[in-house]
Structure 1
Amino acid sequence: MGALQSSRQTGGVRGSAVQAPLLKLMTALALALAMVLSMSAVSARADEVNLTPGPTVTQDPNSPTGYTGHFVYYNPTATSVRFVADIMLRNWADPTDTTVYSPFEYRPGLMRGGGGYDVEMTEVADGYWVTDVPLAAGANQYWFYVDNDTSYWVPDPANSPIFAPDGIQGTARRAFNKVHVPYDPVKQNYAPLAAREIENPRADSPKGTWSYVPFEVNGTTRTMGVYLPPNYDPNRAEPYKTIYMQHGGGQDQSDWMNMGDVPVIMDNLLQDGTTEPAIVITTNTNYLGAPNEGYPNLRNVVIPFVEANYNVSTDAIDRAFAGLSAGSFVTQNLMRYDTLRFGYYGPWSGGAQAVLATVPNIDKPYILYGGGRWDFGLPNANTVAALDQVAFVENVVVAGAHDFNAWNQLFTIWARDYLWHPEAFILDEVTTLKDAVADTGLNKGNRNALTVKLDQALKLVPKDENGGAVDVLNGFVAQVNAFESNGKLTEEEAAGLLVIANQLLSNLGYWQQQ
């Protein structure tokens, strides 16, 4: 039914900037005629249209993605309804292409991140508003505007997120409804899009549970979102690790558990064996306390509550904290004022604070910056690179904008590739050291003696053998000093090697002692 719609695509449209006026006129007339005819056809066939409220995703040979989303919203008092979704497309395969594409123009290489697709829905029966649109793999977000009131992002009553009882209310809340779409390997045929299937529920995956758990903050009952992994064991000998996820503006502790897809992604990663069982906590910024005090209620209330009521580790290296947009500011303020509270930080889509490079102990935690390529909050690469000179930092850019198209991917990458993997953060420093050794005037045997030590240290870290890695790196430092003393290394060459080696020793040695 895609031809039935009058499109208001706010993200832009595909096409040349200069077209013949006659061609424009003919195209406009053809579209108008098609719309009139199709509207009449729908009215005549209203009894044939699926009017089940909510989204229905069907395999469709006529869809450019192989799947069509059929959306039905029931509201008998509405005079108009707009369907809005963050499904406009950009060219991830070709960064030089600045065009924003409609979902109807999908081809392999395009990814969501072009902004909001906005279309008037068609009333095909009394109070039943309908629209169809091609959709691609993963979790797709959508909402409604009723009677052109854009101040209220209307939840889909047939497919509503499960909101926290003490969360944002009314027009302050942005309702991100979610619909999952399979991957068509023929029509979608693009590896980065295939990777987004991790966001889709699997019938055969062991399922974790999640809920909003009440607790007391300053005499008031509030809630936090809590995800427990499949087969959570309160008596497991090895305590679980914890991941704290922070929301953005217009959101609360609900969003990572709903549109953010954390429970589904965690279930799937655990089934694949690509992450460790962990408890995920979502909190509301409003009750965490003062930013310039490192959010004392997080430190003094939330974390103690979690550690008293769940079988989780109390070691900082087993805690992680990440946030999107406004939640990135929370994350970076924690990095600034309560640096050692968490072993891993993920500030996403909220820029990068240059002042962090001067924070004491900033070389201890492992930090993953990230954002969408078309994201206005994408961290400044130069600021991140400067921080990487004094800390252990990685930076990931994914297909997406300032939306959950980017954030779902970032959570997947973080939980799968970076969390509980310090070797992923020190790899750059070890590689830099190896390159620097290769550039010295040492003979092959002496270069090999240093490089072997670096490789050995890197292999020990993922085995939780930081002590062994520290011993090996101390041997590296001693050998560099010896080579300088006997004139095999210049003072400048030795100094360059020792600066990075001592950064590694400071980091690994700290966690070894905890």
Structure 2
Amino acid sequence: MSVFTRRDRAVEGSQGGGDRGRNARLVRPFAALGLTAALVLSTVPMAAQAADGELTPGPTVYADPESPTGYTGRFVYYDPDATSVRFVADILLRNWADRTDITVYQPHQYEPGLMRGGGGYDVEMTDAGDGYWVTEVPLAAGANQYWFYVDGNTSAWLADPANSPIFAPDGISFPQRRAFNKVFVPYDEAKQDFAPLAARQIELPREDSAKGTWSYVPIDIPNQTGRTLGVYLPPDYDPNRAEPYKTIYMQHGGGQDQSDWMNMGDVPVIMDNLIQDGTTEPAVVITTNTNYLGPVGNQAVPGDAYPNLRNVVIPFVEANYNVSTEPIDRAFAGLSAGSFVTQNLIRDDADQFGYYGPWSGGVSVPASTPNLAAPYIHYGGGAWDFGLPNANTVAALDDVGFIENTVVAGAHDFNAWNQLFTIFARDYVWHPEAFLQDEVDTLKADVADAGLNKGNTNALTVKLDQALKLVTAGDSVGALEVLNGFLAQVAEFQTAGKLTAEQASALTTLAEKVTFNLGYWVQ
């Protein structure tokens, strides 16, 4: 029989369960071990209440006034042959409000300012009899990932049979695949009370949002059989729309496959919500499997990396879906091992995609990469992520290209990667102005420091502001005209002795970097 007491009525939206954090122990802070991660995409209904004796397999999340987050998750695992079951989840906490604090906090220690990213919470589940195993744990907002170990076998990260991810038919098999299940947890304004955590509500399914669709679509790959792509189509996808959709390609990490971004990565839910909010364009999202993309290629031979991506996958997508064939309308991002794929694509052929997102895989793109100033590159990682790109290395690369870097609360896990996908899809893809802003700000600061009179300073500054506004409005041609006017005026000021050769050179070099970028895509 159940050992749990009756709690308050459950709230909208999710799964959950588990022993209180006092029974937990800290395991090595792998938080998805750098390559793993996959949770579910399914939404488990909220129970009306978490009552004594309730042993429904799967997770249930319910409002709990005794929980420090306002919510408790109850997890029930059924296996009549098991002698022990451990519940594991990437839900240990770190102090995002004060990153000098190196403490790893247990879930029951939650207080505002803490975020997931401390690694794996690992607890023995309670044997409730008749093959049922139960645990409860406080949970905070967003998509939370968990899995099980049965009979002490930590090599097999088991899916929740009652809440399993929807795996690709040609994906990695167990035990090589590390299964992550996903449970959605609401945000309690009073108890959780932390803006970065409130932002993770974007990961929660909304009853009132239009829903896109996703599935695994067969694709013929040379010398391989039974291969599939993950394909997300936005709400009301129109195969005959006059303006083709843009495309985002998402690459998994090691120990994962094309399932992970669609499941624990929460791409369909996040896209549905961003589209409803009007903060991203409806786009087609493709997930691929590294095992069929082909060899990484020879760094000395441009254009030969991942030939099946170039010659099979992209042509297949562009032939079968109403998507743009222009590289500037394609984005490619990947986590961990997928970051290496992303960076290999950049060094191999930087303009194959207009936007890139290498996350949690360090920095491996050489500054000497041809046409590095053409694409827009968004590096990122979790604050407690062993694959976090080095900020100084990214900054040095930004001297050559158009690079942004985002650090979020999280480790080498989907706590970081879900946030990075949200930020990428909302703030960076199809937004060249987000990448050009730093260069424009630097130009304006250099103009302000040049010792020009107010009128001449304003004449140059106004042009820079106008150019950025035109880029934001999608008028790169107009922005180029304005910037060419800026360059001509800088030359005039140098000739007139109003700017030194050194000042004019600095302004010209940076402005020409911007004009190269804009001009590259309007040729």
Runs of at least 5 residues in structure 2 that lack an aligned partner in the other structure: 5-18, 30-49, 298-303
Please give the secondary structure, in 2, of the residue aligned with 1:221: coil
Aligned-partner Cα distance in 2 for 1:6–1:434: 57
Aligned residues of 2:79 and 2:132 also touching (Cα < 8 A): yes
Alignment equivalent of 2:113, drawn from 109, 118, 141: 109
Alignment equivalent of 1:63, drawn from 63, 67, 75: 67
Aligned residues of 2:20 and 2:138 also touching (Cα < 8 A): no
Aligned-partner Cα distance in 2 for 1:48–1:67: 17
Please give the secondary structure, in 2, of the residue aligned with 1:171: coil
Aligned-partner Cα distance in 2 for 1:111–1:161: 24
Is it true that 1:200 corresponds to 2:204 in the alignment? yes
Aligned residues of 1:5 and 1:121 also touching (Cα < 8 A): no
Aligned-partner Cα distance in 2 for 1:74–1:479: 74
Aligned-partner Cα distance in 2 for 1:467–1:169: 50
Please give the secondary structure, in 1, of the residue aligned with 2:218: strand
Residues 451-489 of structure 1 deviation map (CA, whole Å, 9 limit, x = unaligned)? 000000000002221111001000000000110011000
Residues 215-260 of structure 1 deviation map (CA, whole Å, 9 limit, x = unaligned)? 1001423000000000000000000000000000110000000000
Alpha-carbon deviation of 1:126?
1.4
Give the alignment's Cα RMSD to 1 decimal: 1.2
Aligned-partner Cα distance in 2 for 1:341–1:49: 57
Question: Is the alpha carbon distance of 1:467 and 1:88 closer, same or farther for their aligned partners in structure 2, counting shifts above 3 Å?
Answer: same
Which residue matches 1:236? 241
Aligned-partner Cα distance in 1 for 2:287–2:281: 18
In the TM superposition, structure 1's runs of 4+ consecutive aligned residues that sit over 6 Å from their partners are none
Alpha-carbon deviation of 1:339?
1.1
Alpha-carbon deviation of 1:125?
1.6
Q: Give 1 or 2 for the bigger CA radius of gyration.
A: 1
Aligned-partner Cα distance in 2 for 1:114–1:48: 31
Alpha-carbon deviation of 1:9?
2.0
Aligned-partner Cα distance in 1 for 2:22–2:495: 78
Which residue matches 1:308? 319
Alignment equivalent of 1:288, drawn from 281, 287, 293: 293
Residues 88-116 of structure 1 deviation map (CA, whole Å, 9 limit, x = unaligned)? 00000001111000000000000000000
1:149-298 map, 5 Å: 149-219=153-223, 220-292=225-297, 293-298=304-309
Alpha-carbon deviation of 1:47?
9.7
Aligned length, in residue pairs: 479
Alpha-carbon deviation of 1:4?
9.0
Aligned residues of 2:20 and 2:108 also touching (Cα < 8 A): no
Is it true that 1:10 corresponds to 2:27 in the alignment? yes
Which residue matches 1:83? 87
Which residue matches 2:37? none
Aligned-partner Cα distance in 2 for 1:485–1:338: 40
Runs of at least 5 residues in structure 1 that lack an aligned partner in the other structure: 13-45
Residues 192-229 of structure 1 deviation map (CA, whole Å, 9 limit, x = unaligned)? 00000000000110000000000100142300000000
2:23 partner amino acid: S
Aligned-partner Cα distance in 2 for 1:312–1:385: 33
Residues 360-411 of structure 1 deviation map (CA, whole Å, 9 limit, x = unaligned)? 1010000000000000000011110110001000000000000000000000
Alignment identity in percent?
Answer: 75
Is it true that 1:511 corresponds to 2:521 in the alignment? yes
Question: Is the alpha carbon distance of 1:386 and 1:448 closer, same or farther for their aligned partners in structure 2, counting shifts above 3 Å?
Answer: same
Aligned residues of 2:246 and 2:283 also touching (Cα < 8 A): yes
Alpha-carbon deviation of 1:48?
2.9
1:308 partner amino acid: A
Alpha-carbon deviation of 1:3?
4.6
TM-score, length-scaled by structure 1: 0.92
Please give the secondary structure, in 2, of the residue aligned with 1:431: helix
Aligned-partner Cα distance in 2 for 1:60–1:294: 52
Is it true that 1:473 corresponds to 2:483 in the alignment? yes
Aligned residues of 2:383 and 2:411 also touching (Cα < 8 A): yes
Residues 307-360 of structure 1 deviation map (CA, whole Å, 9 limit, x = unaligned)? 00000000001000000000000000000102111000000000001x521001
Which residue matches 2:8? none
Alignment equivalent of 2:148, drawn from 144, 150, 153: 144
2:292 partner amino acid: Y
Alignment equivalent of 1:398, drawn from 380, 384, 408: 408
Aligned-partner Cα distance in 2 for 1:312–1:54: 38
Residues 157-176 of structure 1 deviation map (CA, whole Å, 9 limit, x = unaligned)? 00000000000001110101
Aligned residues of 2:72 and 2:138 also touching (Cα < 8 A): yes
Residues 33-78 of structure 1 deviation map (CA, whole Å, 9 limit, x = unaligned)? xxxxxxxxxxxxx993210000000000000000000000000000
Aligned-partner Cα distance in 2 for 1:143–1:5: 19
Please give the secondary structure, in 2, of the residue aligned with 1:150: coil
Alignment equivalent of 1:126, drawn from 130, 154, 162: 130
Q: Which has the higher contact order (CA 8 A, sep 6+)?
A: 2
